[in-house]
Amino acid sequence: MHDATLILPAPAKLNLFLHITGRRADGYHELQTLFQFLDHGDTLGFRVREDGEIRLHGEIAGVPHDSNLIVRAARLLQQASATPLGADLWLDKRLPMGGGIGGGSSDAATTLLGLDHLWQLNLGLDRLAELGLRLGADVPVFVRGRAAFAEGVGEHLTPLDLDEPWFLVAVPQVSVSTAEIFSAPELTRNTPIIKVCGLPEGGGHNDCQPVVEARYPEVRNALNLLNKFVHARMTGTGACVFGSFPNRSDADKVSRQLPATLPSFTARGCNLSPLHRVLQGLTAEARA
């Protein structure tokens, strides 16, 4: 990481609610979901290479180099822009994998934006979001960097200004496969469609939660534990569960009362992604 010339955050997200409203002919599910970012996440380092190679240093266990979404995002951007440049990349992984807090998708989005900046491509957010969608349904919201109501498979985004509470996120020690939950026969796929002006009071619900709770006792236990203190919900297809608090100390207090078997972290909800806050700073510096 110390050889990097650019260091950027890859924040987590929460799905404050997740409604499944239908299923497309290709098997993908139509969703309505509310995304907000957290000021907690992975960190990526970047350095341009003149030889065109893409090299990620420090692999994550279980994810081969060439399958890592960081490497795939870098190669996709290389192809799309026909740049002769490459990059060395470093990843400081803090986000649990398969946690429903979007770590892989956020790493991919930070890679697209970081390399667009370093390679001086100026492709623009629309094009980068379109490339991001090829890597995963959650990548576009991280590319655009605004809390949003999302529809379709997650690519139709309406940016929103939401309250920015503190969240306690508990991390059950299990990885939930998104594909497994979406293919579950018992998953309900008929929540009525809502309008962005009619967002549910009190937070809405997550259609994946009952499926995951029934299949993963670790998630069920985490919800039971957190529900003793706050209205607990699951994010994405799990495994992480969360509750919101008006301030940090209330969130920290509950975090300290959870058993050691259930790790957790506290973080502020953000309507502007921490990644975009840093990029805006770089643009302002370049103008000055």
Ligand X SMILES: Nc1ncnc2c1ncn2[C@@H]1O[C@H](COP(=O)(O)OP(=O)(O)O)[C@@H](O)[C@H]1O
105 annotated as a binding-site residue = yes
Distance CA 15, CA 120 (A): 32
Distance CA 10, CA 93 (A): 9
Among residues 107, 116, 138, 250, which one is catalytic? 138
Among 6, 7, 48, 63, binds ligand X (CB under 6 A): 63
Please, are residues 78 and 86 in contact by the beta-carbon 8 Å criterion?
yes
The two counts, helices (H) then strands (E), for the chain are: 9, 10
Comparison of 27 and 198: residue with beta carbon closer to ligand X: 27
Closest C-alpha among 114, 120, 159, 148 to residue 132 = 114
Active-site residue 13, yes or no? yes
Comparison of 95 and 254: residue with beta carbon closer to ligand SUD: 95
Which parts of the chain fold into alpha helices (H)?
69-81, 103-118, 125-135, 139-144, 178-182, 209-215, 217-227, 248-257, 274-287
Footprint (CB under 6 A) of ligand X, residues 86-145: 97-105, 107
To the nearest 10 degrees (0 to 180), the angle between helices 274-287 and 103-118 is 10
The residues, ordered by sequence, that sit 6+ positions from 232 with a Cβ below 8 Å of its Cβ are: 170, 222, 223, 226, 241, 242, 243
Footprint (CB under 6 A) of ligand SUD, residues 149-208: 153-154, 178-179, 182
Among 100, 114, 145, 269, binds ligand SUD (CB under 6 A): 100
3-state secondary structure 164-194: CCEEEEECCCCCCCHHHHHCCCCCCCCCCCC
Please, are residues 88 and 1 in contact by the beta-carbon 8 Å criterion?
no
Q: Which position's Cβ is nearest ligand X?
A: 104
Is residue 105 close enough to count as binding ligand SUD by CB under 6 A?
yes
Distance CA 264, CA 260 (A): 9
Active-site residue 66, yes or no? no
Among 178, 205, 230, 271, binds ligand X (CB under 6 A): 178
User: Minimum Å distance from CB 59 to ligand X?
Assistant: 10
Please, are residues 262 and 254 in contact by the beta-carbon 8 Å criterion?
no
Comparison of 68 and 78: residue with beta carbon closer to ligand X: 68
Comparison of 32 and 266: residue with beta carbon closer to ligand SUD: 32
The residues, ordered by sequence, that sit 6+ positions from 251 with a Cβ below 8 Å of its Cβ are: 166, 167, 168, 245, 266
Is residue 70 close enough to count as binding ligand X by CB under 6 A?
yes
Binding mask 212-251 for ligand SUD (x = CB under 6 A): ------------------------xx--------------
User: Minimum Å distance from CB 111 to ligand X?
Assistant: 9
Footprint (CB under 6 A) of ligand SUD, residues 12-51: 15, 18, 27-29, 31, 33
* Active-site amino acid positions: 13, 138
Pick out the residues of the known binding site for ATP. 96-106
Footprint of ligand X (CB under 6 A): 63, 67-70, 97-105, 107, 178, 236
Footprint of ligand SUD (CB under 6 A): 15, 18, 27-29, 31, 33, 100, 102, 105, 136-138, 153-154, 178-179, 182, 236-237
